[in-house]
Structure 1
Amino acid sequence: MRLAEKLVQEFEKLPEEKKKEVIDFVEFLKQKDKKDKQALMDGIIDENAEALRELAK
């Protein structure tokens, strides 16, 4: 069984309130990933600020 299939199967067994918690957790993970990517990009920009300014000329 594929992971997504197992997830759906287990999700369907949960009561509605627990399903809401799962959805909230998924949204949390997505936001965390977005913040992690933003922090990575901010670091790259900070580390290369001088080179980026030169390229912008």
Structure 2
Amino acid sequence: MMNQEVPFVSIEEKLIQDFMRLPDDKKLEVIDFVEFLQSRTNNDLESLMDEIIIENHEALKELAE
């Protein structure tokens, strides 16, 4: 039995390979989903920053003086 090495494929390479095999309408769905994930991440970050500002309002006010 021969020991064959499996070539390493990065996550990015795998995604690109799979993406290229999709029909155009499915590619558009993938793009929409990626944009959704990015916006959700941005919204999570904005919410976290808002929460930090609210929780530390008094301290931030004092620092501004």
Task: Report how many aligned residue pairs link the two structures.
Answer: 57
1:4 counterpart residue number: 12
Flag the structure with more relative contact order, 1 or 2, with Cα contacts below 8 A and sequence separation at least 6: 1
- When you count helix as a share of all residues, which structure comes out higher? 1
> How many angstroms does 1:44 deviate by?
0.5
Q: Give TM-score scaled by structure 2 length.
A: 0.87
Unpaired segments ≥5 residues, structure 1: none
Unpaired segments ≥5 residues, structure 2: 1-8
Q: Establish whether residue 51 from structure 1 lines up as the match of residue 59 from structure 2.
A: yes
- C-alpha distance in structure 2 between counterparts of 1:3 and 1:35, whole Å: 25
Dislocated runs of 4+, deviation >4 Å = none
Q: Give TM-score scaled by structure 1 length.
A: 0.98
